[in-house]
Amino acid sequence: MYWYFKVFRSYFNFSGRARRKEYWYFTLFYVVSNMLAFLTDVFTGTYHGEGFGVLSGTYFLVSFFPTIGVSIRRLHDIGHSGWWMLINLIPGVGSLAICVIALFDSQPGPNEYGPNPKEPIEAETVPDTLRCGSGKNQRGIRWIKGIGIAVSLMAVLVLGVQYWWGAHKDQLMADGKAAIEFGKRAGQSRTEVECVEFALQRHRENPSISLGSSVSNSMVLTGCLETGAPTQSFCDHVPPQTEIVASGQWIGSACNQAGITDGFCASLLQRIPVYCASDARHRKINGEAGATRNSSCEVNPLTT
């Protein structure tokens, strides 16, 4: 945690050098903090599918300059200009290249950006409260403090989620049952294909799509498929849920074909592989063969 707060104390500092320990410890706690902020947004309903929620977006803005600053100083430490940060703009490989470069050790001695940060350890990198005792004891104390803070943050998150779930559980369960019943009523006059299009249309028309609305639409789709008339070709080419990679690729492709690019489409359509592999669907096909629609009569929005 010392290194994390050290970077924040150098909020607008884009000069000088940062050793590997400073960069990677900051990166570790930055990633953990981002995950905690994201999970908090998801469980409290403040994540709206635009890449950030209220808390995670605020944290990103607050940490933006320290993150850029420590990255530039890390490049300086190995003898590169801060302009090398522009490599991040290369799609796919840019960020990976920066991570690899950041693994290089400090240039020995001073360079054009300042003295080697590893040399004046006692003066710059060790906090006053940790200067007594051996180096191993100092590192041990820092590790214990860091682990203690991380555990405390996780405990706060877990308690917060439990409190939120206890306060909203009954309402969520009632809303879920209502969504499924609504879907069942809608399915009585629709085929499986039409159920999917119905759910996708609800998704498109929602002015403020969120995790909650996508879960609600997923439950509507579940109920609709349960009572919808079977279409023989509906489950063709739908991988079973147990094939995680293939199922994920199919869902992503289906969302693209439907023209939906937000992050919540997947949570809506993930019900389809589950439904296609269910015993209820097999019984529907085998027991209602006479009522099954011919595949040529309908256009499946997920396979066109």
Full pLDDT tens readout for the chain, 304 residues: 777 888 888 888 888 899 888 998 898 888 888 888 887 776 666 666 555 677 778 888 888 898 999 999 999 998 888 888 888 888 767 788 888 888 888 888 889 888 888 875 444 444 554 444 555 566 666 667 666 666 666 666 666 667 766 776 787 788 888 989 999 999 999 999 999 999 888 888 876 666 677 778 889 999 999 999 988 888 888 888 778 788 888 888 888 888 887 767 887 888 888 888 888 888 888 765 444 444 444 545 565 5
The pLDDT of residue 143 is: 63
The pLDDT of residue 291 is: 47
The pLDDT of residue 239 is: 87
* Cα distance between residue 275 and residue 211, in whole Å: 21
